[in-house]
Amino acid sequence: MPTDMPEAALVRRFFDRINADRFDAAIDLLAEDVLYHNIPLPEIRGRENARRFHKDFGIGSRIRVEWRLLRLAQDGDTVLTERFDLFTDAQGGRIALPTMGSLRVVGGAITEWRDYFDLASFEAQAAALQG
């Protein structure tokens, strides 16, 4: 089995930290001026804004995440991920979301992070948890 290129290894480390409840350590792997985009939501620029977005959502406090990497491919400085993202609340309610990601790594940091998912599916599952 081939060894990961440095960019893919960094992306794996990013998701490993998230899944180990080391969210802040994961976000620290983002470039200070990272472009983060959960498509179709508005773009977020900056590491601290990305951190705040996730903390406001409840990750690391009210919500536990497990973002299972199913496949990973690399083209130059871009790493593509196919994932199954699980969000679990304190009562055990769960949202399961197939997600595709594109992460660009430059200079040892993630400079662009885009996730593609079905927002309607996420919203329906979230509403069912509250209902």
Quick one: tokens of 13? 């480390």
105 within domain boundaries: yes
Helix residue ranges per DSSP H, the chain: 6-19, 23-27, 47-57, 119-130
Quick one: tokens of 30? 């983002």
Local structure of residue 1 (DSSP, 8 states):
-
Q: Which residues span the domain enclosing 27?
A: 6-130
Beta bridge partners of 105: 110
The reply to whether the predicted model has a pTM over 0.85 is yes
> Going residue by residue through the chain (131 aa), what tens digit of pLDDT does each one get?
456 899 999 999 999 999 999 999 999 999 999 999 999 899 999 999 999 999 998 887 888 999 999 999 999 999 999 999 999 998 889 999 999 999 999 999 999 999 999 999 999 998 888 86
Q: For residue 110, which of 118, 102, 122, 120 has the smallest C-alpha distance?
A: 102
14 within domain boundaries: yes
55 within domain boundaries: yes
Q: What's the domain count of the chain?
A: 1
1 within domain boundaries: no
Q: What is the CATH number of the domain that holds 110?
A: 3.10.450.50
49 within domain boundaries: yes
CA dist 77 and 41 (Å) reads: 24
24 within domain boundaries: yes
